[in-house]
Amino acid sequence: MEYLNARKIAFADRFMPYYIASSACHIMNLENKSRQFYLESGTLPDLRVQMFLVSPPGFMKSFFLKILLQTPTSLLGGTVVKTAYQGSLSEAGFVGTIRFGSEDEPVTSFGAAAEYSDYIVGIEEFNALTNAMKQEHSTNLDNALLTALDSGRLVKRLGAGEIKYDTNITLFSGSQPARFNLSSGLGRRFVFIYFIPNAKEKEKLKIARREGRGVSGRPEVLKQVIKDVAYIEDRCKYVKEFEFSSRFTNFLDTLGVTHFVEPLYERLGLGFTLSTKTIDTIVKVDLNEELKRFLQDVHVWRQEIARGAEEGQIVKVLMDENPISDHNLKEKLLDFGLTYLKSEELLQILIKQKRVKRNEGKIELVK
């Protein structure tokens, strides 16, 4: 965090800890897959935390991936953690495909999940992933994509043959706000960060960008980051067991987390502990105020996306200025890439839900 703040990265304190925890889980998952010391119900669990940032166009999605992964001066790019960055990727590019060659012989092309099987990979535009999460039922999702991000066992049957391999890729990706179905298969495999900036936050982003001109960060701090990540990887080799305290488990009950989402919160707790505590042979995941806030934010973001990530953009503007004229609202929403037509469609949805009301050209939140 010291290195990121030295680079004048806006909102590093709010969002980057989740990526750091995910990175620690990536290291531990590789170790557990190798030694198989931690089981759940007699099976080998997957400990990865896949990350997905939902924000309007121009608000940090690509920027975060680059400062985390893209270059040797990125947060993880020079560490023992293997990283890669992809501008865009299709489902076939991620999983792989089989085509017939010149002599009608099947030729297998393995995807990024195979090529980067032990990497953390940032994918700026992953339309297949985003579109899959919009589906109403998990049966419509590509099973190969689901299993690659869950168990890591990937099997894809095509007309020309079968692709089969194991992958431990950890995915960092993102999307513009959309109507995601978080109860679907893919929705259960990601920790979501939801960032719709208000007026003050947009101003903070502007100031941070200006302050970052000519700033290279602090190389001596980056060297310490590299040492710290190497320490985590080394200490994970001696871990024999995880323990989740009753305080931690009881807190998940207060959040009302369902059983199929709860493993995500447990892994975040594990990643947080690995990133902030001395790593002993028994890793004890316990609740403190920082971890409590850490998990509460994730839960709130998930609920906001489930209510409607697109509609949430209107609600955020109204939280700054309530009531607001219809015209001014739609003008402000242009900053989020929403046309007048799209803004009106979203307004109609909120009005039907009785979350906002329109009266004499004014839009306001329903109390």
Structural domain includes residue 304: no
User: What residues make up the domain containing 161?
Assistant: 2-296
Q: Which parts of the chain register pLDDT below 50?
A: 137-141
Burial class (CB in 10 A: 0-12, 13-18, 19+), 205: middle
- Mark whether 175 and 289 lie in a shared domain: yes
Q: Residue 137's pLDDT is what? A: 44
Do 224 and 335 belong to one domain? Answer: no
- Residue-wise pLDDT for 253-271, tens only, equals 999 988 889 999 999 999 9
Residue 153 domain flag: yes
- Alpha-carbon distance of 190 to 161, in angstroms, equals 30
Amino acid at 219: P
Asked whether residue 159 is assigned to any structural domain, the reply reads yes
Last residue of a domain, one of 239, 261, 296: 296
Indicate whether 202 belongs to any domain.
Answer: yes
- What's the half-sphere exposure (Cβ side, CA atoms, 13 Å) at 101? 7
Same domain, 107 and 167: yes
Phi, psi (5° rounding) for residue 22? -60, -40
Pairing of strands 96-100, 106-110: antiparallel
- pLDDT, position 16: 94
pLDDT at 141: 45
- The 3-state secondary structure of 222-285, one letter per residue: HHHHHHHHHHHHHHHCCCCEEEECHHHHHHHHHHCCCCCCHHHHHHHHHHHHHHHCCCCCEEEE
DSSP code string of 75-116? TTTTSSS-EEEEEE--HHHHHEEEEE-TTS-EEEEE-HHHHT
* Start-to-end C-alpha separation, the chain: 39
Question: How far apart are alpha carbons 284 and 274 in whole angstroms?
Answer: 9
- The answer to whether residue 302 is domain-embedded is no
Please check whether residue 303 lies inside any domain of the structure.
no
User: CA 191, 192, 198 angle in degrees (round to 5)?
Assistant: 150
Which of 252, 269, 296 terminates a domain? The answer is: 296
- 282 and 345 co-located in one domain: no
The pLDDT value recorded for residue 104 is 72
Are 83 and 129 part of one and the same domain?
A: yes
Q: Which of 268, 296, 324 is the last residue before a domain boundary?
A: 296
Q: Kindly state whether residues 176 and 105 are assigned to the same domain.
A: yes
User: Where residue 282 sits, what CATH number does that domain have?
Assistant: 3.40.50.300
Q: Is residue 301 situated within a structural domain?
A: no
Please check whether residues 181 and 37 belong to one and the same domain: yes
Among residues 172, 175, 198, the alpha carbon closest in space to that of 57 is found at 175
Whether residue 119 sits in one domain with residue 247 = yes
* pLDDT computed for residue 282 by the predictor: 97
Single-letter residue type at 64: F
Query: Is 165 in the same domain as 246?
Result: yes
160 and 235, same domain (yes or no): yes
C-alpha span between 19 and 49 (Å, rounded): 9
* Predicted confidence (pLDDT) per residue in 28-65, tens digit: 999 999 999 999 999 999 999 999 999 998 888 888 99
pLDDT at 127: 67
318: domain CATH number is: 1.10.10
Residue 333 lies in a domain: yes
Give the predicted TM-score (pTM) of the model: 0.90
- 257 and 338, same domain (yes or no): no
Statement to judge: residues 292 and 314 lie in one domain: no
Q: Is the peptide bond before 323 cis (omega within 30 degrees of 0)?
A: yes
pLDDT number for residue 262:
93
Task: Report the number of distinct structural domains present in the chain.
Answer: 2
CA–CA distance, 304 with 179 (Å, rounded to integer): 11
